[in-house]
Chains A and B, each alone.
Chain A
Amino acid sequence: MAEDRGTPLVELNDISISFGGIKAVDHVSVDLYPGEVVGLLGHNGAGKSTLIKCLSGAYQKDSGEIRIRGQKVEINNPRDARAHNIETIYQTLALADNLDAASNLFLGREITTATGLVDDAAMEAETRKIMARLNPNFRKFSSPVSALSGGQRQSVAIARAVYFNAKILIMDEPTAALGPQETQMVAELIQELKRQGLGIFLIDHDVHQVKALCDRAAVMKNGKLVGVVNVDEVSTDDILAMIIAGKKPEHLAA
């Protein structure tokens, strides 16, 4: 499937990370093409989040290489990742609870006036614009995000990732804290971003959701990659077997 699509957007080649002698990620390779959603699956502690944090700059890999559009890059911190148009929606959302939505959305990338002071009014205006698109019911622009509901907080985190022209989007369990309606909203957003040509890594526990949203699924167990499969060619039972038993389905094993 991958051969005829040119250079991958992201290549994670032979990545390893250890924490105090435990191999959290053990020689894992995954790639991602423009307009593609790759699901990352596995038990808690399988190494999905750790692997992805190498790409978002939160952790540094011990060995292996990262290529963006074929170019080898070094990502040592979240600033480097942002410079490569990699945006991340963390499972914890990574919001500063004491600040309002606009301050969170622009955190680290504030709009400033000619005098170098932060332009709160301009940032709030931009926030109102993007929220009108993502979550039209959002009204609490001047409250700290601690006063928002789970879904509203999620939409702030998503707005932050989408606003800055991300090319590569990492979503770590974006629907874990959401109700059915909001989950549907996120699913629609993923479809839209995909059409715009973004590459998306989606970490999720829900196998059905991965089947519905992803093009390919990479399954990890105990830090190792079990396999990468096209979701159309496998059943949910096959994927579950990969997660639990750590074996690739037999009809694809050859």
Chain B
Amino acid sequence: MTDTAHAPADAPRKRSLLETLEVDTRLLGMIGAFIVLCLIFNFVTDGRFLTARNIFNLTIQTVSVAIMATGMVFIIVTRHIDLSVGSLLATCSAFMAMAQTVWLPNALGLELGSAAIAPLAIILGLIVGALIGAFHGWLVGYLTIPAFIVTLGGLLVWRNAAWYLTNGQTIGPLDETYNLFGGTNGTLGPTWSWIFGIAAAIAAVAILFSSRRNKVSHEFPVKPLWAEVSLAAIVVAAILGFIAILNSYEVPTARLERLFEARGEVMPEGFTTGYGLPISVLLLIIVAIVMTVVAQRTRLGRYIFATGGNPDAADLSGINTRLLTVKIFALMGFLCALSAVVASARLTFHSNDIGTLDELRVIAAAVIGGTALSGGIGTIYGAILGALIMQSLQSGMAMVGVDAPFQNIVVGSVLVIAVLIDIIYRKRTGAH
């Protein structure tokens, strides 16, 4: 995680390679740790860890926690905490499951399987999530109850509100359109995945160079052109490589036969196709982009980080920090509902224990991703990478055959060690 070992060698050049590239060394450390982790698991499992199939599964397993982790970044940055996200996910999931299987068909006379059911259920669920979140935010911001207590109460309340809504029953199967958000049941297919991948690569390059042009127009210092070009090349290679891997995971023949049968066609002999990008992962990518823009380019994001850095200063600058708290928790609630769609669609049913212990995974993902509990510091991409590292650890250990108790012992220890490394890193680099 540290690059200090190379420092003396680079010293005469004045600026090291990393400085010239202006990449976040902390991010680099995390990516490095992640790659090492993957390679170790791949070695121990004789190459089963880094197969297209496992990478595909890993990404769809990460989505639910990663979506919530992006919201948790804002919560923790403003020096709050949300212990209720797993329970809130359950309540939203229960609400949407009941809406699509019981309430909407009964109240609006919609038939099960009607095209309107999934969008309506999802919209209602997102509203419920945002409202519950806003209510938490109001208790924290306006009634000044500590977020720890509000959401600890919420942990119990919403877990059991979910239970009450469904009478503790498993609700399913869920609507087929709804289940498209679950991962395996809804992918873009190779063609659209390539189109998306290429569009994303072009957009990434365009953003890199437009920000460079903007800097030049204000006569701010920019990094050398070769650095910019190599950075762009790495980004493009990463995006297209990821798409290529997802496309190379082929849909099992039996499943393809069933799909053709459902459409009333006969599968041509020797037909194969890849899964491509899952819709749930696409959703996570959209969430990540939107949340990053909010964090870095909007007033809301600026106020969130200012409040985290110095709440008094934010207040004295005329920022309505109470309303800000409501907004942040409402956003968290909204993201819990979005995760609820992904989580229940992945299972194709709502179960009573959905999202259990997710609050701890989400907080751990945000913290491993570099979000400081003292407030003011955190990144969206860090939290997503944190979620991915957590999930890889868990899946990898399961694949290796580590006993269940040891899995959790390792995950817990990794969380603590990650924070320790982060503290040491921040001390060394002078940031806090």
Residues of A within 8 A of B (CB): 56, 58, 77-79, 82, 88, 90, 92-99, 103-104, 107-110, 112, 116-118, 120-122, 124-125, 144, 146-147
Contacts and interface: CB of A to CB of B under 8 A. Distances in A.
Given A79-B318, A110-B302, A97 B310 contact: yes
Contacts of A116: 298
B309 A96 contact: yes
B220 A124 contact: yes
B58 to A, nearest CB: 33
A107 B218 contact: no
**Residue in A99, A107, A110 whose Cβ sees the most chain B Cβ within 10 Å:** A107
A96 B299 contact: no
A78 B316 contact: yes
Contact of B312 (A82, A92, A110): A92
A177 to B, nearest CB: 16
Nearest to B297: A117
Nearest to B307: A96
B257 to A, nearest CB: 49
B317 A108 contact: yes
B377 interface: yes
Interface string B238-274: 0000000000000000000000000000000000000
B304 to A, nearest CB: 11
Given A94-B313, A104-B306, A107-B302, 11 more contacts: A93-B313, A94-B310, A96-B307, A97-B309, A103-B302, A108-B319, A109-B318, A117-B297, A118-B298, A121-B218, A146-B431
B318 A99 contact: no
Which 10 pairs of residues, A with B, have the shortest CB-CB distance?
Answer: A96-B309, A98-B309, A98-B376, A108-B317, A79-B318, A94-B313, A96-B306, A107-B317, A117-B297, A108-B318
A121 B302 CA distance: 14
Given A94-B313, A125-B218, A99 B305 contact: yes
A124 B215 CA distance: 10
Given A121-B215, A124-B220, A147-B430, A98 B298 contact: no
A118 B318 contact: no
20 contacts: A56-B316, A78-B316, A79-B320, A92-B313, A94-B313, A94-B317, A98-B305, A99-B306, A104-B313, A107-B313, A107-B319, A108-B303, A108-B319, A110-B302, A117-B297, A118-B298, A121-B214, A121-B215, A125-B218, A146-B431
Interface string B194-217: 000000000000000000001101
B149 to A, nearest CB: 25
B318 A82 contact: yes
Nearest to B306: A96
Given A98-B376, A124-B218, A118 B302 contact: yes
Given A96-B305, A118-B299, A146 B432 contact: yes
B309 to A, nearest CB: 4
B315 interface: yes
Contact of A94 (B307, B312, B320, B377): B312
Given A78-B315, A82-B318, A98-B376, A117 B306 contact: no
B315 to A, nearest CB: 7
Contact of B376 (A97, A118, A120): A97
Contacts of B218: 121-122, 124-125
Nearest to A141: B220
A125 B218 CA distance: 7
Nearest to B315: A78
B219 to A, nearest CB: 8
Nearest to A113: B297
Interface string B309-350: 110111111111000000000000000000000000000000
Contacts of A97: 309-310, 376, 432
A147 B432 CA distance: 10
A160 to B, nearest CB: 9
B308 interface: yes
Contacts of A103: 302, 306
A90 B313 CA distance: 9
B431 A117 contact: no
Contact of A98 (B214, B308, B312, B320): B308
A90 to B, nearest CB: 6
A95 B430 CA distance: 18
B215 A94 contact: no
B313 A117 contact: no
A93 to B, nearest CB: 8
A174 to B, nearest CB: 15
**Residue in B297, B298, B316, B318 whose Cβ sees the most chain A Cβ within 10 Å:** B316
A210 to B, nearest CB: 24
A125 B308 CA distance: 25
B266 to A, nearest CB: 51
A144 B431 contact: yes
Contacts of B310: 94-97
Interface string B216-228: 0110100000000
Contacts of A124: 218, 220
Contacts of B306: 96, 99, 103-104, 107
A198 to B, nearest CB: 20
Nearest to A95: B313
A200 to B, nearest CB: 18
A78 B317 contact: yes
B10 to A, nearest CB: 21
B33 interface: no
Given A118-B299, A121-B215, A124-B218, A96 B313 contact: yes
Contacts of B305: 96, 98-99
A122 B220 CA distance: 11
B314 A107 contact: yes
Contacts of B317: 78, 94, 107-108
Contacts of A120: 297
Interface in B67-97: none
